[in-house]
Structure 1
Amino acid sequence: MAPRWSESCGVPYGASLTLSPYHRLHAHGAGPSDRVPEARREAARRRGDQVAETTTDRSPDPESPGDPENRDAPEGRDAPEGREVPENRDARDPRRPRGALRVGRVRGVPIYVTPSWFLVAALITLLLGHQLDRALPELGPERYLVALFFAVAFYGSVLVHELAHTYAALRLGLPVHRVLIQFIGGASEIDDRSTTPRRDLVVVGSGPLLSLVLAGVFALAMLAVEPGTVPGVLVAALMISNLIVAVFNLLPGLPLDGGRMLRAVIWWRTGDVLRGTVVTAWTGRALALVVLVGFPTATHLAADDRGAFGGLQPLLDALLAAVLAAIIWLAAGRGLSQARRNAQLPSLTARALTRRAIPVPGETSLAEALRRANEVGAKALIVVDDDGAPLALVREAGIAGVPDDRRPWVPVVALAEELTEGTRVPADLTGEALLDHLDATPASEYLVVEENGEVYGVLSYRDVDEALLAMERRRPAAAPRPAG
């Protein structure tokens, strides 16, 4: 099973993000908000579990989270040759990005356009409109309509790039949750827990390959149009932009497509995915520095005038370079820290993180229950029936919300969450299996039980969050006092 990846950022014109159900669940805020602490949601956003990003072009693209799963696809192996690409039939509608528009579905995968796209489309329209004033002076104000058409057509190419990632992932049996068109790019969210180096190469490489094909198609189309005309300028611009998308994303640094391809090759040759991530993350950081210095330098040397904004053009070029460099640098850094945490994930155990708990009848006052817990150093309360069988867990958030002067009058049952099968956690669960179990039933506390059904204690999700964050910082987590 592939480790949980997380270079959660979003980058140049098309990023195929991959993530585990764990990240997907919390990024979408699944589960009742009164049961899942804010710390849990925030930590999940910071972790971005298992988000491996492949990308497309020379610009940024944040955001990501998801939708469905194709359960008809074979697990752990490629789909049979010649098989039709499966649809995401289990697709549940994910929480869409704020303000985003769903523009369609492909094979059950929803496609969203975020508000940031409209800002970038307007910027492209403005910049290209100024340029067209020199290339096609006879157009007049209509040049802005031509520029807007290019912006839409270009992002259509970005969408095709993303759908190439999506199609390849579904073909290999990897669930795809959604596609985003946003900021200066796009993102495909793919769950790749069962991926392999070969699968990574296929899924990641499909995007730049299709962008190269599109560039070739537009190059051939140039033979059929007259240079210096509106069709001629549009076709040439689309050919150049798709070529830039493909070439930039093939650069060998995370979070670009080329970085993921290089990581897959290193993983394939060495069997060590962490080594591949470390190498490509540092390559990505070096690439960020090249972009920061090289992009404004290159545009300055190539400019034959002051550009659309006169003397401000160098400043705008430097600002764009700084934004791109920051996105690439931060994404590479996140991939590096999360990969190191993933390497330590097997050391995450339910038993070590369990809090000592005491049983109390439901009618016991909160003040009395806390007094008993303090006497024995317990950190959690379990509501039991007359026979001592556990019925519910008293929520930590509920306790904190009761003023001291009210605690003698509030029964613990009023603050308890009824136990379900999902909120019972085997004490021996570790690593990814533990996270998957918690993922299936989001809650703030879980009852930890031995194999024979004996109660071991209570696991707080806050402690799991802290342990994961400590792994990211490469510091050992301070585990609560063991139960028993």
Structure 2
Amino acid sequence: MSENAAEPVPPRPPGTIRVGSIGGVDVLVTTSWFLVAALISYLVAPRIEQVEPGLGVWKYVAGVVFAMVLYGSVLLHEVSHALMARRYGYPVASITLHFLGGMTAIEGESRRPRHEFFIAVVGPITSLVVGGAALALWFVTPDGLLRVAVEGLAGANLLVGVLNLVPGLPLDGGRVLKSAVWGATGNPHRGTIVAGWGGRVTAIAVLAWPLVLMSVFAVDPDLVDYLLVFVLAMFLWTGATAAMTHARLRQRLPSLVARPLARRTLTVPEDLPLAEAVRRAQEAHAGSIVTVTSSGTPLGIVNEAALLATPEERRPWLTTSMVARSIEQGLTLPADIAGEELVVALSRRPAEEYLLVESDGTIHGVLTTADVDRAFREGGH
């Protein structure tokens, strides 16, 4: 991935704000974070009022500060994922803090079960360590707002650490389960399916939490309890379902090979009249046209949509280069590219046509995204 600096910078996800970077990794905050910060401030305000009576509106300000400290520990959790991923050679695109915690965008799938295991488990371990350290500090912290912050930090991180070890995707514990099944069966897709079902079961179990409050703790759940349970269950169910769908799609990737999908290509001078280029292509039964220099160096790929949109009566008066897209970086791919590598290459540099070349630099043909999509829908055949 040494060419990343020369590649287009991916756009920031909508609804996010960049607040900085850690080790070159962008740290993003979703706009929903401000909602959760306000909610946390509202929920901890009574406890702050109990410890420091008479603060008035400042108790809510203290609540917002507590929310920032809490999400600082969430950031540590995500940074640990990022550092472990980088240790194994996986690029990290960004870290995003959102309504339900955080997410580390790691590029590519784990290559080995142990990579999956350690990248996943380091996050909950970090939360448990932070929670344990805060718990130890609680015993030596004097009464007051600082002690409230320390006890909240301890409770939240211990809870996050334990819950994240629940064996169901999209939780870290789900990735740990995936790595175990993967290691036992040698099949990463089977591991994802098993961990996905674990996430679905967990989502259903979360919905039963209000019943647990009433029957076990004799506490009547309020509207906030029902709302949080519903949001968390939906997050788990949709995350697990998305992971399972992605795994099923990835099973079809190995059969997706660029070489047999390439269209036969005709090379022509860039100043050749378009009508003549089309005539020659039809005569040669070529499905694509590439413009080249006098020495044979590829310059551009004729865009099919632009060609079809050009009236036939105008084609004799236009040069072929007028409807060709320049072959920029990322539009030339090796003819043997296949599977996930092919999909990643297409997503990194979106276009309608790509030039496939052999190892010696000769042109093999032109690959279109329409043909790739069609082959993928048909199972890669």
1:416 to partner: Cα distance = 0.8
Distance 1:374 1:126, change over 3 A: farther
1:175 is matched with 91
1:146 to partner: Cα distance = 2.2
- Give the Cα separation in 2 of the matches to 1:221 and 1:389: 68
Report 1:309-328 matches (<5 A): 313-314=222-223, 316-328=224-236
Residues 434-456 of structure 1 show CA distances to partners (whole Å, capped at 9, x for unaligned) of: 44655676543123345676644
- Give the Cα separation in 1 of the matches to 2:54 and 2:254: 67
1:153 to partner: Cα distance = 1.0
Distance 1:274 1:194, change over 3 A: closer
- Identity percentage of aligned residues: 41
1:154 to partner: Cα distance = 0.6
Residue 345 of structure 1: which of 253, 269, 281 is its match? 253
Matched, 1:460 2:368: yes
Deviating more after overlay: 332-341 vs 100-109: 100-109
After TM superposition, the score normalised by the length of structure 1 is 0.67
After TM superposition, the score normalised by the length of structure 2 is 0.83
Residue 221 of structure 1: which of 123, 131, 137 is its match? 137
Residues 263-312 of structure 1 show CA distances to partners (whole Å, capped at 9, x for unaligned) of: 11122222221221111011111112222x22343455657567xxxxxx
1:197 is matched with 113
Residue 352 of structure 2: which of 441, 444, 460 is its match? 444
Residue 282 of structure 1: which of 185, 197, 200 is its match? 197
Report 1:28-427 matches (<5 A): 31=8, 95-98=11-14, 100-130=16-46, 132-133=48-49, 138-191=54-107, 193=109, 195-226=111-142, 229-291=144-206, 293-299=207-213, 302=217, 304=219, 313-314=222-223, 316-366=224-274, 369-370=277-278, 378-384=286-292, 390-399=298-307, 402=310, 409-419=317-327, 423-427=331-335
Distance 1:109 1:362, change over 3 A: closer
Residues 403-424 of structure 1 show CA distances to partners (whole Å, capped at 9, x for unaligned) of: 6775564432112123468544
- Give the Cα separation in 2 of the matches to 1:274 and 1:186: 24
- Give the Cα separation in 2 of the matches to 1:218 and 1:421: 50
CA contact (8 A) 1:383 1:393 kept: yes
1:476 is matched with 379
- Give the Cα separation in 1 of the matches to 2:35 and 2:310: 46
| Paired residue type of 2:92 | V
Structure number with greater CO (CA < 8 Å, separation at least 6) is: 1
| Paired residue type of 1:392 | G
1:396 to partner: Cα distance = 2.9
For residue 224 of structure 1, give the secondary structure of its aligned residue in structure 2. coil
CA contact (8 A) 1:97 1:114 kept: no
- Give the Cα separation in 2 of the matches to 1:353 and 1:252: 40
CA contact (8 A) 1:208 1:250 kept: yes
For structure 1, the 5+ residue unaligned runs are 1-20, 32-92, 307-312, 480-484
CA contact (8 A) 1:125 1:151 kept: yes
CA contact (8 A) 2:259 2:335 kept: yes
Deviating more after overlay: 442-451 vs 119-128: 442-451
For residue 140 of structure 1, give the secondary structure of its aligned residue in structure 2. coil
CA contact (8 A) 2:252 2:379 kept: no
Distance 1:384 1:162, change over 3 A: closer
For residue 268 of structure 1, give the secondary structure of its aligned residue in structure 2. helix
CA contact (8 A) 2:130 2:154 kept: yes
CA contact (8 A) 1:157 1:211 kept: yes
| Paired residue type of 2:379 | P
| Paired residue type of 1:169 | A
1:238 to partner: Cα distance = 1.8
